[in-house]
Amino acid sequence: MATPKPFPQAGFLSYLLAMNHTASRADASLSRELADILCDGDGQPGKAVGQLLQLLQARKAVLQSTFDSEQVADDLRRYQKFVKAGRPSPHIVQLRQQQGTVRHASSRSRQQFIAAAAGFVREAGIEIPQRVALEAFITHWIDINVPADFVALPQAPVALKRVGP
């Protein structure tokens, strides 16, 4: 059985949840754009922090549903190879029902991701280039700006340390 691909921004997501949706501008290794979104000029949490939190949770759900869809499709392909003509076995019927359920969940998670992305872009004031899909743009933005593989330092709970290149 395959293991799911880890969510790269899981450490930062848990950090935002633990810090009650706030982060300090002094957090090490944050991109300038992300630091401006997290904290306004007064050092208070920015208005888009809640939207960023929803966006990251939706992105995590999309990755999980994509993995689930691949798993069910692999199982169905594996068992359908040897099916005899005629009525499908109860196991094949169950796998097809499971595939329909997973597809529906995947569609809903993608819709929630797009809605969260639209809300985040609006609150953060990010301009999307013309002829670029919102989903593609925000996925690229997350990969570039949101820190991956971060661990909060134990002695200073508001400081972050970047692990990796």
Burial of 96 (C-beta count, 10 Å sphere; 0-12/13-18/19+): middle
Q: pLDDT by residue (tens digit) across 11-49?
A: 778 777 776 645 554 455 677 777 777 776 666 666 788
Q: What are the extents of the domains in the chain?
A: 10-162
pLDDT of residue 24: 52
Q: What is the distance between the alpha carbons of residues 72 and 96, in angstroms, rounded to a whole number?
A: 9
pLDDT per residue rounded down to tens, the chain (165 residues): 567 777 878 877 877 777 664 555 445 567 777 777 777 666 666 678 888 999 999 999 999 999 999 999 999 998 888 878 888 888 889 999 999 999 999 999 999 999 999 999 998 888 999 999 999 999 999 988 888 876 655 544 444 444 545
pLDDT of residue 2: 67
pLDDT of residue 129: 92
Q: What is the distance between the alpha carbons of residues 146 and 148, in angstroms, rounded to a whole number?
A: 6
The one-letter code for the residue type at 100 is: G
pLDDT of residue 88: 85
pTM score, whole prediction: 0.77
